[in-house]
C-alpha cells in the first residue's frame, strides 16, 4: 500500500475551558470578601468597569431604574417558602453554558483551573517629633491618620524591658538576638549552644541573659518548653515548692489523669493534688499570644435565613458584601466613535466583552448560591426548628439531584461560604454529614447529631457511673442508633473527650 498525503474532514467533541468559563468557576468558590478583592483587581485592569457603593445606589436609585439597560447591578434577593413543592424558579443565566454541564470531565477541568505596616523609627528631627506628638502634618494642619495606633508586638514589649534590665552592650546584643527567636506563643525556639556559637560567646553568657529575659512580663515568656513555662509562672506566684516541682516533672501523668501515681511520687494527698491542679490551670500555656496578635476577623455570612410569620423560611443573599459592578456603555461608545486606531478599538471591544462577562458571572454566581442555600434549608428544616439532634444526614449528590446541578458545582458553592440562621452562623459544609443507620430500620441519623448525643451522655454521667464506650453503644442502640464501638471512640477523641479510665481518675481526684 503506497503512502501519500491526503486531506480529511472529521467531527469531534471535546471539553474546552475558555478563560471566561474558568473565571466563572473561580468566582463560584470565592467567599464574598474574596470576591470583593477579586473585583477590585478587575476594576484596575478594565476601564469600562465601575463600582457603585451602597450610598451611591441610595442617592441615585431613580437614575438606576431609568437606565438599567446601560448599567447592571449584581444583586439577588428572594425568599423561600418551605410549604412549596420545590425551590423558587430561577431565570436562566446569560452565560453561554450551564454550571451543571461544565464538569463532565472533572479531572481535566481541575487541571486547567488549578501586615499592618510597622511604623519606622521616629526621626531625630525636632519637626518630626513635633508632628508625631501633636498629630499634625508639619504645616499646622491636624492629621487623623497620625492618631492611629496599634497593639504592641511581643518583641517590642520584650525589647522595651530588655533596655532597662540589661546594661552592657554585649548582653543587649545577646538579648536582642534571643528575642528574635521567641515565637508568637512566647517560647524560645533557638538552641542556646547554637546561639553562642553564632554570636561568638560562651553558652553560660547566653544562659545568663535568657534567665533575665525569663523574668520579663508576661510571666512564663522565653521558656524553652511547657514545663519551664509553667514553672516560671508558678514561681512568680510563690507556688513552686519541691512538691510542685515533682508534679511538673511528671506532667505526662497529669495528662493521663493518673492522679494515684502522682500522689505516690509527690507524697501528697488527694486534696493537695487537686490544689496543685487548680494552680496549674490558672497558668497560661501560651503567654505570648496576648501581644501583637492579628485582630480577629468576624465571619461575614454569605446567606441569611430568617423565620417568617407563617412558619416558613426566607433565604436571602447578603447583598451588603456583594460588589455592585457597572459597565460604562457610554464611555465605550465615546471611545469607539472618537478613536481611529484599529488596535485601540480592538482593545476597548475586548474590555467590553470582559466587563459584560464579569457582570453575568457575578449574577449567575449569586443565583447559584441562593439556589443551593435554599435547598439546604429545605432539607435541614428540622435542624432549624428543633436543633442539632434533628440534623439530617446529607451529601452533595442529594442537593445536586434536587436542583439539577452537578455535584462539583454544589461543592464549589458550599466552599468558604457561611449561612446565618436563627441557631447561629454555620459553614455550609456543616450541613453535609454522613449517615449512621438506625437500629430499628427507620430513618438514618446524622453523624453530627450522634456526636452531640455522645457529648450529652458523657456530660450527664455520674462520678460513680462513668460510661465506657461499650456503655455508650448500648444506650445509643436503645435510642435507635446502630453504631460500632470504634466509631464511638473515634467521635469521642475528635471532640477531645478523655477515655472512661481518664475521666474516672479525674473525677476521683475531685471527689
The Cα–Cα gap between 250 and 263 comes to 11
Question: 322 in a domain, yes or no?
Answer: no
The domain boundary residue, chosen from 290, 325, 342: 290
Q: For residue 303, give the DSSP letter.
A: E
**Number of helices (H) and strands (E), helices first, in the chain?**
24, 8
Total structural domains within the chain: 2
User: So what's the pLDDT on residue 147?
Assistant: 53
The Cα–Cα gap between 398 and 410 comes to 10
> Residue 452 belongs to a domain with what CATH number?
1.10.10.60
Question: 92 in a domain, yes or no?
Answer: no
The Cα–Cα gap between 68 and 72 comes to 6
| Of 214, 122, 101, 83, residue with least CA distance to 161 | 214
Q: What is the pLDDT of residues 128-173, one digit of tens each?
A: 333 344 444 444 455 555 555 667 788 889 999 999 999 898 899 9
Question: 353 in a domain, yes or no?
Answer: no
Question: 320 in a domain, yes or no?
Answer: no
The Cα–Cα gap between 445 and 442 comes to 9
C-alpha cell at 461: 454521667
Question: 54 in a domain, yes or no?
Answer: no
The Cα–Cα gap between 145 and 122 comes to 16
CA 89 to chain centre: 33
Residue 75 CB contacts under 8 Å (≥ 6 apart), including other chains: 317, 319, 322, 324, 366
End-to-end CA distance of the chain: 97
Question: 86 in a domain, yes or no?
Answer: no
The Cα–Cα gap between 49 and 358 comes to 9
The whole domain housing 464 covers 435-509
Task: Name the burial class of residue 305, with classes exposed (0-12), middle (13-18) and buried (19+) by CB atoms within 10 angstroms of its CB.
Answer: buried
Q: What residue ranges of the chain have pLDDT lower than 70?
A: 1-2, 15-16, 20, 53-150, 292-297, 439-442, 508-511
Phi-psi group of 58: left, alpha or beta (phi > 0 → left; psi -120 to 50 → alpha; rest → beta): alpha
Q: Is the dihedral of CA 317, 323, 324, 330 positive or negative?
A: negative
Question: 501 in a domain, yes or no?
Answer: yes
The domain boundary residue, chosen from 231, 264, 290: 290
User: So what's the pLDDT on residue 294?
Assistant: 57
Question: 451 in a domain, yes or no?
Answer: yes
C-alpha cell at 279: 494552680
> Residue 186 belongs to a domain with what CATH number?
1.10.10.1330
The domain boundary residue, chosen from 252, 270, 290: 290
Amino acid at each position: 500500500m503506497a503512502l501519500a498525503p491526503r486531506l480529511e474532514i472529521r467531527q469531534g467533541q471535546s471539553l474546552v475551558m475558555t478563560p471566561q468559563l474558568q473565571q466563572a468557576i473561580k468566582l463560584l468558590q470565592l467567599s464574598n470578601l474574596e470576591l470583593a478583592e477579586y473585583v477590585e483587581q478587575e476594576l484596575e485592569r478594565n476601564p469600562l468597569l465601575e463600582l457603585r457603593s451602597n450610598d451611591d445606589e441610595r442617592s441615585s436609585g431613580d437614575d438606576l431604574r431609568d437606565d438599567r439597560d446601560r448599567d447592571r447591578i449584581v444583586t439577588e434577593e428572594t425568599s423561600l417558602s418551605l410549604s412549596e413543592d420545590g425551590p423558587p424558579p430561577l431565570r436562566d443565566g446569560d452565560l453561554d453554558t450551564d454550571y451543571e454541564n461544565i464538569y463532565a470531565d472533572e479531572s481535566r477541568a481541575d487541571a486547567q483551573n488549578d501586615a499592618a505596616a510597622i511604623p519606622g523609627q521616629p526621626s531625630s528631627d525636632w519637626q518630626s517629633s513635633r508632628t508625631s506628638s501633636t498629630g499634625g502634618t508639619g504645616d499646622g494642619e491636624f492629621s487623623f491618620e497620625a492618631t492611629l495606633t496599634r497593639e504592641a508586638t511581643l518583641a517590642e514589649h520584650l525589647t522595651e524591658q530588655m533596655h532597662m534590665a540589661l546594661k552592657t552592650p554585649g548582653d543587649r546584643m545577646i538579648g536582642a538576638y534571643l528575642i528574635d527567636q521567641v515565637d508568637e506563643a512566647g517560647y524560645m525556639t533557638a538552641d542556646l549552644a547554637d546561639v553562642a556559637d553564632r554570636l561568638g560567646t560562651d553558652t553560660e553568657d547566653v544562659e545568663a541573659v535568657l534567665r533575665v529575659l525569663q523574668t520579663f512580663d508576661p510571666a512564663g515568656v522565653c521558656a524553652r518548653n511547657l514545663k519551664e513555662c509553667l514553672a516560671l509562672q508558678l514561681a512568680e506566684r510563690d507556688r513552686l515548692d519541691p512538691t510542685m516541682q515533682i508534679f511538673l516533672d511528671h506532667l505526662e501523668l497529669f495528662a493521663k489523669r493518673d492522679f494515684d501515681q502522682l500522689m505516690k511520687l509527690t507524697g501528697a494527698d488527694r486534696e493537695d493534688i487537686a490544689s496543685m491542679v487548680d494552680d496549674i490551670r490558672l497558668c497560661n500555656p501560651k503567654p505570648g499570644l496576648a501581644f501583637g496578635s492579628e485582630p480577629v476577623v468576624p465571619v461575614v455570612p454569605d446567606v441569611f435565613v430568617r423565620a417568617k410569620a407563617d412558619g416558613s423560611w426566607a433565604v436571602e443573599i447578603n447583598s451588603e458584601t456583594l460588589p455592585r459592578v457597572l459597565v460604562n456603555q457610554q464611555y465605550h461608545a465615546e471611545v469607539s466613535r472618537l478613536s481611529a486606531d484599529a488596535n485601540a478599538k480592538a482593545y476597548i471591544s475586548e474590555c467590553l466583552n470582559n466587563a459584560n462577562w464579569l457582570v453575568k458571572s457575578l449574577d449567575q454566581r449569586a443565583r447559584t448560591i441562593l439556589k443551593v442555600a435554599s435547598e439546604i434549608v429545605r432539607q435541614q428544616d428540622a435542624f432549624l426548628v428543633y436543633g442539632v439532634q434533628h440534623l439530617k444526614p446529607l451529601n452533595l449528590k442529594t442537593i445536586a439531584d434536587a436542583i439539577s446541578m452537578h455535584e462539583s458545582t454544589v461543592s464549589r458553592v458550599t466552599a468558604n461560604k457561611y449561612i446565618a440562621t436563627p441557631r447561629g452562623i454555620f459553614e455550609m459544609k456543616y450541613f453535609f454529614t454522613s449517615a449512621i443507620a438506625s437500629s430499628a430500620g427507620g430513618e438514618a441519623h446524622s453523624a453530627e447529631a450522634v456526636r452531640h448525643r455522645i457529648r450529652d451522655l458523657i456530660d450527664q454521667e455520674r462520678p460513680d457511673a462513668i460510661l465506657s464506650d461499650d456503655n455508650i453503644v448500648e444506650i445509643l442502640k436503645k435510642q435507635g442508633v446502630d453504631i460500632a464501638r470504634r466509631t464511638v471512640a473515634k467521635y469521642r477523641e475528635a471532640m477531645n473527650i478523655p477515655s472512661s479510665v481518664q475521666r474516672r481518675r479525674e473525677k476521683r481526684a475531685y471527689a
